[in-house]
Amino acid sequence: MLRDQFPILQRKVNGHPLVYLDNAATTQKPQVVLDAMNDYYSKSNANVHRAVHTLAGEATEGYESCRSKLKQRYNADRAILTSGTTEAINLVAHAWGRAKLQSGDVIVLTEMEHHSDIVPWQMLSEERGVELRYVPVSQDFTLDMEAFEHALDGAALVCVVHTSNVLGVRNPLEEIIEKSQAVGARVLIDAAQGLPHSTVDFQSFGADFMAFSAHKMCGPTGIGALLVTQSAFDEMEPFMGGGDMIETVTIEGSTYQTNEHKFEAGTPRIAEAIGWTAALEWMETFDLENEHSRLIEIASWVAEELRGLGMNVYGRHGEHDAAVVSFLHPTINSEDMAHLLDARGFAVRTGHHCAQPLLHRLGISGTVRASFYVYNTREEAEALVDELRGIVEKFA
Amino acid sequence: MTYPEALQELVEEFQAIEDKRERLEMLFELADEVVELPNDQWDDETRVRGCQSEAHVRIGITDGRIQFLSAADARMVQGLMGILTIALDGLTPAQAVLIPPTFAEEMGLLNTLTPSRSNGFRNMYDKVMTELRQNRGD
């Protein structure tokens, strides 16, 4: 059974079996990922790209195999390894944004973005006088596409979240990309919540940049990637300077690598890359599309049950949305709810989920969020609903 | 130091409860001990920073004795305020500032609480103690 491969799911929390439903924050790791990282440190630990000794060769091969795997899985020209989605987006803001954008240029964002796809652009805007336009979210939890079309006028870059971490709503990316390309804008997709639930052919998809993290798809924390088209890659200037990103260094100046290493200064995340490769290979042992269908069915059922308990549920739980259920009870505080759940072993998230503009639009300051992933079962969902029913009966 | 008697009793009561859910429910009940700071008196001066939810406190001194007013939108935070209300009730500022923050840990509440809430509790305790020291004329 897939679930048996996750040692952490055997543990108890506060005397109860762990029901881990905070997967939109981070997922758990299967044994093969833990083993791969442990093997690297036990048998092959060395720095990459430099020495000629055997261990260095093994470490380099392990690190670069992650890049190869990403390029193959997502059919991408370029895959820059970063610390995660946040660093990947910041990399675009620095390496591409500061090279290409100037005062008066327009970046289109949406109110649905995670803070990591807002703050880097606000910083760039303050520094360069770039104009930011935000596409509003409608009452049905989708982007206002009419407003999006208006916002596109003169846009140089469009940044949009693949799937909302609060609502689970998958945006109409194909339409967004097509319309953005029509006005000559580059497109960045924040796919942190999207790629754990679906895959993509990056080259035919049409976006220029796609950022995502390993830890939301059963890989380690501390590593992620930026997929880049060759033409956008050619427009990027070095961001962080240091070892490994250079070709030559003299006291007069330096020349840089021409491949992805140009954006990976310093010793990279070697064990994490090896762990991520193991996770990506592990994800090929089952049908992700089938798993996604199963999970969205569970999430949709939970959402309906919670409405029946008097909860306000935020999201639509459509076929391609992520299995995320954000909810609030009219009288029970969300943090109180999460603490009561934790006391019975349920791990859920509360708060603004790093998406304050979206919550502001929805007129709330936070939600309780249960997010499901491939190891979650229907029985766990039923247990969650039962527990919430008990909490409502006792505390509402 | 030893705690005021009412606080010491509470520490012992919490220590006797093993189940986390029961500890939480007892904490929720202590929310009723709060002398409420009305919503229209919430401002930046009363706000406790570091809490995930809204939390406000105000210290009043009547005839040399502390009057602790507080309010929060989470019942759990109000429960913590209820504990402080019991701890501070009837004390002078000079007596109150001698109460260390360790009681929350001894009650097993810092295990119950998330790190952000633990920080929030500490921020609330520090804010109250700072105001009491100012009232004492330190």
pLDDT given at position A38: 98
**Least CB-CB distance to B21: which of A336, A343, A351?**
A343
Looking at chain A, which residue has its C-alpha nearest residue B20? A343
Nearest CB to B53 within list A15, A333, A343: A333
pTM above 0.90, yes or no: yes
Q: How far apart (Å, rounded) are the C-alpha atoms in residues A327 and A19?
A: 18
CB contacts under 8 A, B 5-64 vs A, are 19-21, 24, 28, 52-53
Q: Which residues contact B70 (CB under 8 A, 6 or more apart)?
A: B34, B35, B36, B37, B55, B56, B57, B58, B78, B81, B84, B85
**Which chain A residue has the Cα nearest residue B72?**
A333
Segment A23-51 mean pLDDT: 96
The overall average pLDDT reported for chain A is 96
Pair of tokens at residue A39: 């093997």
Q: Per CB distance under 8 Å, which residues of A are interface residues toward B?
A: 14-15, 333, 335-336, 339-340, 342-344, 350-351, 366, 395
* Per-position b or e across B85-120, b if 16+ CB within 10 A of its CB: bbbbbebebeebbebeeebbebbbbbebbbeebbeb
- Could A335 and B24 be called an inter-chain contact, meaning their C-beta atoms sit closer than 8 Å? no
What's the CA gap between A76 and A212, in Å, rounded?
Answer: 13
* Token pair for A193: 């919540």
A354 an active-site residue?
yes
Mean pLDDT for the stretch of residues A130-158: 97
CB contact under 8 A, B21 and A340: yes
Report residue A355's pLDDT band, with 50, 70 and 90 as the boundaries.
confident
Residue B116 has pLDDT above 60, yes or no: no
Residue B104 has a pLDDT of 83
Return the pLDDT at B101: 85
Q: Which one-letter DSSP state was computed for residue A260?
A: G
Is the pLDDT score of B136 beyond 80? Answer: no
Cβ contact B74–A335 (<8 Å): yes
Report whether pLDDT(A370) > 80: yes
Token code pair at residue A78: 């370029």
pLDDT of residue B8: 92
Q: Which two tokens stand for residue B64?
A: 């040399």
Q: Which helix (H) or strand (E) holds A328?
A: strand A324-328
CATH of B5-133, one of 3.30.70.1450, 3.90.1010.10, 3.30.565.10, 3.40.50.10490: 3.90.1010.10
- Which residues on adjacent β-strands are paired with residue B70? B36, B57
CB contact under 8 A, B20 and A14: yes
Sign of CA dihedral A103, A106, A112, A113: negative
What average pLDDT score do residues A270-287 get?
98
Q: Which CA distances in Å does B95 have to A26, A376, B133?
A: 46, 53, 10
Domain ranges of chain B: 5-133
CB within 8 Å of B48: residues ≥ 6 apart: B55, B56, B57, B120, B123, B124, B127
Identify the pLDDT of residue B119.
Answer: 65
Mean per-residue pLDDT for A143-155? Answer: 97
pLDDT of residue A357 exceeding 70, the answer is yes
Among A84-88, A244-248, A266-270, which is the least confidently predicted range?
A: A244-248
Q: Which domains does chain A have, with CATH numbers?
A: 2-21+288-395 (3.90.1150.10), 32-283 (3.40.640.10)
- Which of the pair, A38 or B90, is modelled with greater confidence? A38
Percent of chain A with pLDDT over 90: 92
Contact B53 A343 (CB under 8 A): no
B contact test, residue of A333, A352, A354 with most B CBs within 10 A: A333
Rounded average pLDDT over A288-295: 97
pLDDT over 80 at A23, yes or no? yes
Partners of residue B75 in chain A, C-beta under 8 Å: 333, 336, 395
Residue A118 — very low, low, confident or very high, per pLDDT cuts 50/70/90?
Answer: very high
Please judge whether B76 and A335 are an interchain contact, meaning their C-beta atoms are less than 8 angstroms apart.
yes
Does residue B73 sit at the A interface (CB-CB below 8 Å)? yes
Mean pLDDT of all residues in B4-33? 92
Please judge whether B112 and A339 are an interchain contact, meaning their C-beta atoms are less than 8 angstroms apart.
Answer: yes
Going from the C-alpha of B70 to that of each of A365, A375, B54, B59, B105, the distances in angstroms are: 21, 43, 11, 9, 21
Q: Span A334-360, mean pLDDT? A: 91
Which residue bears the tokens 């000629």? A52
Which residues of B are less than 8 Å from A366 in CB distance? 52
Q: Hey, what are A172's tokens?
A: 């109409």
Q: Measuring CA to CA, how many Å separate A302 from each of A213, A336, B16, B112, B127? A: 27, 20, 36, 27, 41
DSSP letter, residue A1: -
Using a CB-CB cut-off of 8 Å, the residues of chain B touching A353 are none
Over residues B45-71, the mean pLDDT reads 88
Given a cut of 90, whether residue B112 has pLDDT beyond it is no
Q: What is the mean pLDDT of residues A310-325?
A: 96
Q: Is the pLDDT of residue B31 over 60?
A: yes
Give the number of A-B residue pairs with CB atoms closer than 8 Å: 38
Are the beta carbons of B135 and B88 closer than 8 angstroms? Answer: no
Rounded Cα distance between A8 and A28, Å, is 7
Nearest by CB: A336 against B19, B20, B76: B76
Sequence-ordered list of residues with C-beta below 8 angstroms from that of A126, at least 6 positions apart, any chain:
none
B52 contacts on A by Cβ (under 8 Å): 335, 350-351, 366
Nearest by CB to residue A335, choosing from B19, B53, B112, is B53
What per-residue confidence (pLDDT) applies to B66? 92
Q: For chain A, what percent of residues have pLDDT higher than 70?
A: 100
Report the Cα–Cα distance between both ends of chain B, in Å, rounded.
21
- CA-to-CA distance for A335 and B111, rounded, in angstroms? 15
Residue closest to A32 by CA, chosen among A72, A2, A57 = A2
Interchain contact, A350 vs B52, CB within 8 Å: yes
Q: What is the pLDDT of residue B111?
A: 56
A34/A341 Cα distance (integer angstroms): 28
Residues 80-109 in B contacting A (C-alpha not used; CB under 8 Å): none
Does ipTM exceed 0.90?
no
